[in-house]
């Protein structure tokens, strides 16, 4: 495994990080708890020491699974990345969207990051995770109803109390990053990034590089689409939000699979899977510190971890980029 420093912190994280969204089942069509636990443990055996989760992923289920998986592991060898700021209890903040929990019950998700909520969320996360500190605490989505200063000062208080080591954000643009940085040292921004979703390269990545902050890339496989395993006509499970996303139209699936076939000889030559090649490409991109990759079971987790072992030359990266430039999706 390859390890990288997170921003200007002294926290070293695995370049391939376990993304525990799917482990929580929420919006992924359910989960098998025992397999999710084994996936995390198998990844750790292959050097995946960093785990990213959130309270919203299964309304506590993901954090609970992570806590179960790391029980008995050396805590100082694990980096726990979790979040705050999404609420399904009450109506404070700004309404975000309607959803269903893992039992199929309708819930409303709100973006709320008031001080009292953050303090409470942190205590709940610590309990579910079975730990007394969080390595990286990130706001999940910006809450326009709460002053940024109040939010960041609450996290600064948690850092002072030793419950959090470092502060990060998710889904922040440059203006929000600049505002938040007035009140706390931010080490990272976790954002959606993949071969077919590269908009952050315009403004956000240059800003983060210039200010020594890390990019944590989530959905680097575009939620499975860049694995080559999803074919036109694919039937997603009930509750899986990929059903309605334009990336998963039959037309775009066909175009992406054609692109993947063009780069497959490169993967074959390295005795790698397409997923491994895509993950390695992701962590080779400027400013990208880690790629967050989910896994349903131990085999998938090990496959993801081994992506860090691949080596790509500049010519090979340029070849893939040239093929990507030809790809015109209907979004």
Q: Which residues are catalytic?
A: 57
Q: Are 113 and 85 in contact (CB under 8 A)?
A: yes
Q: Which token pair is 61?
A: 């289920």
What residues contact residue 84 under an 8 Å CB cut-off, 6+ apart? 55, 113, 117, 118, 121, 122, 125, 137, 138, 139, 140
Residue whose entry in the numeric block shows the structure tokens 């969207």: 97
Among 189, 327, 181, which Cα is nearest to 262's? 327
What residues contact residue 2 under an 8 Å CB cut-off, 6+ apart? 14, 15, 16, 283, 308
- DSSP secondary structure of 19-46: E-TGGG-TTTT---HHHHHHHHHHHHHT
- Which string of b and e fits 97-127 if b means at least 16 CB within 10 Å? eebebbeeeebebbbbbbeebbbebbeebbe
Among 182, 244, 253, 184, which Cα is nearest to 224's? 253
**Secondary structure class of 237 (helix, strand, coil):** coil
Q: Which token pair is 98?
A: 């309607």
What residues contact residue 91 under an 8 Å CB cut-off, 6+ apart? 108, 110
């Amino acid at each position: 495994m390859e390890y990288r420093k997170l921003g200007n912190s002294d926290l070293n994280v695995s370049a391939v990080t376990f993304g525990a969204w799917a482990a929580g089942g929420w919006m992924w069509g359910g989960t098998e708890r025992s397999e999710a636990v084994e996936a995390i443990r198998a990844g750790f055996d292959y050097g995946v020491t960093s785990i990213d989760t959130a309270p919203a992923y299964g309304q506590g289920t993901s954090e609970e699974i992570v806590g179960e998986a790391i029980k008995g592991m050396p805590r100082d060898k694990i980096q726990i990345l979790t979040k705050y700021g999404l609420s399904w209890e009450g109506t404070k903040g700004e309404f975000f969207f309607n959803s269903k929990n893992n039992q199929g019950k309708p819930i409303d998700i709100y973006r709320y990051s008031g001080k009292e909520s953050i303090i409470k969320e942190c205590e709940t996360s610590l309990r579910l995770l079975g730990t007394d500190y969080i390595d990286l605490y990130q706001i999940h989505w910006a809450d326009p109803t709460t002053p940024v200063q109040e939010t960041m000062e609450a996290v600064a208080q948690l850092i002072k109390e030793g419950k959090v080591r470092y502060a990060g954000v998710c889904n922040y643009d440059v203006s929000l990053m600049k505002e938040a940085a007035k009140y706390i040292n931010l080490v990272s921004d976790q954002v959606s990034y993949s071969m077919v979703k590269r908009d952050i390269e315009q403004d956000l990545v240059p800003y983060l590089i210039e200010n020594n902050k890390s990019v944590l890339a989530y959905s680097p496989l575009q939620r499975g689409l860049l694995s080559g395993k999803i074919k036109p006509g694919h039937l997603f499970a009930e509750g899986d939000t990929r059903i309605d996303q334009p990336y998963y139209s039959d037309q775009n699936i066909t175009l992406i699979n054609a692109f993947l076939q063009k780069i497959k000889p490169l993967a074959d030559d390295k005795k790698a899977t397409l997923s491994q090649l895509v993950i390695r490409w992701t962590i080779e991109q400027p400013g990208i510190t880690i790629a967050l990759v989910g896994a349903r079971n131990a085999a998938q987790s090990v496959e993801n971890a081994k992506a860090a072992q691949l080596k790509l030359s500049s010519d090979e990266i340029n070849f893939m980029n040239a093929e990507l430039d030809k790809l015109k999706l209907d979004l």
